[in-house]
Chain A
């Protein structure tokens, strides 16, 4: 059976952002259906549960189940829905595409989700760098108000909803849902201690659900074509639906690719419809399957590796934001780990001592190994620092993310680390040079 793109179906279309082309392509039909009288909010939640949809933001938590955590009695408090459009995980660029090219697909999903949650107000928290994406969304939201898909008494249903685009200002940690909530409240984006969970006590002290851009886009299609249809796409009943994969690094054709959840990694890298193999005929050395926070895999490990939540968990890594970063045989693993450590050192929010102190320490040690000044005990030291940052020593899982590239690269390429320390240089050609792109 050939797969017809769902989420990216309209991307190449002329004026794909406009509400006219969206409606002409069957857009807002799902919303009309949901608000048409036969669907209670609870029934929508049930349908989403049945679809097997799991969050596309990183953790893969079942969306309908999460919605069910909002208390029945909110004690007079409103319910907020927040769309997480912070997309900052290195290697990830799917939400940018979805918002810039087909904003109404997301907006429709957001209104339907809000209806299921009985939410009057939602926000799109979009990273500050997406100036263009924010303008596209603002325009699309204005169009939706004009056509009566937003605002008071939508399509005469009695349901009312408002969406506001809220721009971040440069901080990776605001993608973590409680960091996002703090930031939306006008504070530093420092994650909260959980519990209480956002579904009970979120933004402005009210029940709050945070969902990723792609998740909300999926909701549109679940309600348009049904949970059963959605659940049939994908590798198995735990990994369902269409999925966007962000492919970057040393492949011939990097880009965003849509496929059924569970696409084999080898297909993504080498398939004609996807990456078309390694650039310059090189071989694969390592692949990061889920963004900077995911453990690296070796060439051997990707042989039989479905790209979905459980397929990657089985390899002790994760699908995360589905950012697949491919490194060829000429890549110095220590250099790559150092680059990732620099990211985490820069982005730690600084609340927890193990994370605030550990992330720059890891970076310093990796930097000295890579620069040929490593000491015999440094590799052990990296592991020791990492272990002190892991396993619930911190407020959020950022610290666990920060150590994943370090520990996995040491575990899988220990010889290369040893070579650096003993020979004071890289085993392979060291850093990438810009000539690679010239």
Chain B
């Protein structure tokens, strides 16, 4: 089930949005009839600000939107794209849904795992890469499809994956 992550990790320091982020949040709030409806967009602002959403960040969002912290935590754990702990500089997202599966996506995952020495969900010790499996990302005609952070890379094979991993800073 979607909400299979249960906890939001603490960062150990308070989260305060920088002024530019607060301005964006003001603009977001103006587009909705309720404060709660701004929750997903404001969580995106939080993730763009810190790269992940800590317990402190979630509490700050709850404060700004007048929501119970438990509600924010419930939402955070439901959606898979919010990072509940720090992730590597490059988030490698491999699609293994049906069309990519038929094109051998698992072979790519296996290859990447061996090359980086980490498992799905893991991050390399230097903090460069995190690799995860995702469900269909609408790139099925160019299977196997993958994303690195917010960009698509498709179609992939072992050689293009090697080239990609080698080229990322």
Q: How many Å lie between the Cα of A155 and that of B3 in the bound state?
A: 46
Interface mask (A189-206 → B, CB under 8 Å = 1, otherwise 0): 100000000000000100
A52-60, A82-90, A219-227 - interface stretch: A82-90
Rounded to whole Å, the gap between the CB of B126 and the closest CB of chain A is 25
Pick from B65, B80, B111 the residue with the most CB of A within 10 Å. Answer: B80
Which residues does chain B contribute within 8 Å of A350, judged by CB atoms?
1-3
Q: Is B101 an interface residue (CB 8 A)?
A: yes
Residues 49-108 of B contacting A (Cβ, < 8 Å): 65, 67, 71, 74-75, 78-82, 96-99, 101-108
Rounded to whole Å, the gap between the CB of B100 and the closest CB of chain A is 9
Q: Is B143 an interface residue (CB 8 A)?
A: yes
Total interface residues on B, CB under 8 Å, equals 59
Rounded to whole Å, the gap between the CB of B69 and the closest CB of chain A is 14
CB distance A129 to B137 under 8 Å? yes
Q: How many Å lie between the Cα of A360 and that of B137 in the bound state?
A: 21
Q: How many Å lie between the Cα of A93 and that of B136 in the bound state?
A: 9
Rounded to whole Å, the gap between the CB of B15 and the closest CB of chain A is 18
Rounded to whole Å, the gap between the CB of A432 and the closest CB of chain B is 5
Q: Is A255 an interface residue (CB 8 A)?
A: yes
Closest to B142 in A: A254
Checking A325, A359, A435 against B107 with a beta-carbon cut-off of 8 angstroms, the contacting residue is: A435
Rounded to whole Å, the gap between the CB of A88 and the closest CB of chain B is 6
CB distance A129 to B138 under 8 Å? yes
CB distance A435 to B104 under 8 Å? yes
Residues 177-197 of A contacting B (Cβ, < 8 Å): 183-189
Q: How many Å lie between the Cα of A188 and that of B81 in the bound state?
A: 13
Chain A interface (Cβ within 8 Å of chain B)? 87-93, 95-96, 127-132, 162, 164, 166-173, 183-189, 204, 246-250, 254-256, 288, 292, 323, 325, 327, 331, 336, 339-340, 342-343, 345-350, 356, 359-360, 431-438
Which residues does chain B contribute within 8 Å of A184, judged by CB atoms?
37
CB distance A323 to B140 under 8 Å? yes
Given contacts A88-B135, A340-B98, contact A436 B80 (CB under 8 A): no
Rounded to whole Å, the gap between the CB of A389 and the closest CB of chain B is 14
Checking B1, B31, B82 against A356 with a beta-carbon cut-off of 8 angstroms, the contacting residue is: B1
Q: How many Å lie between the Cα of A87 and that of B138 in the bound state?
A: 7
Q: How many Å lie between the Cα of A306 and that of B26 in the bound state?
A: 51
Checking A171, A255, A327, A431 against B80 with a beta-carbon cut-off of 8 angstroms, the contacting residue is: A171
Q: Is B33 an interface residue (CB 8 A)?
A: yes
Rounded to whole Å, the gap between the CB of B2 and the closest CB of chain A is 5
CB distance A331 to B102 under 8 Å? yes
Given contacts A166-B41, A169-B82, A432-B104, contact A437 B155 (CB under 8 A): yes
Pick from B31, B96, B106, B140 the residue with the most CB of A within 10 Å. Answer: B140
27 contacts between A and B (CB under 8 A): A87-B138, A88-B138, A92-B140, A93-B138, A93-B141, A162-B31, A166-B40, A168-B40, A169-B44, A170-B80, A172-B2, A188-B3, A204-B33, A246-B140, A248-B102, A249-B99, A292-B97, A336-B98, A339-B96, A343-B98, A345-B1, A347-B2, A432-B104, A433-B104, A434-B110, A435-B107, A437-B156
CB distance A438 to B1 under 8 Å? no
Q: How many Å lie between the Cα of A89 and that of B134 in the bound state?
A: 13
Q: How many Å lie between the Cα of A96 and that of B147 in the bound state?
A: 15
Closest to A331 in B: B102
Q: How many Å lie between the Cα of A350 and that of B3 in the bound state?
A: 8
Apart from A128-B79, A342-B96: 17 A-B pairs, beta carbons within 8 A: A90-B98, A93-B139, A96-B138, A127-B138, A128-B81, A129-B81, A132-B150, A169-B79, A170-B82, A173-B2, A187-B75, A247-B141, A331-B102, A336-B101, A340-B98, A432-B102, A435-B104
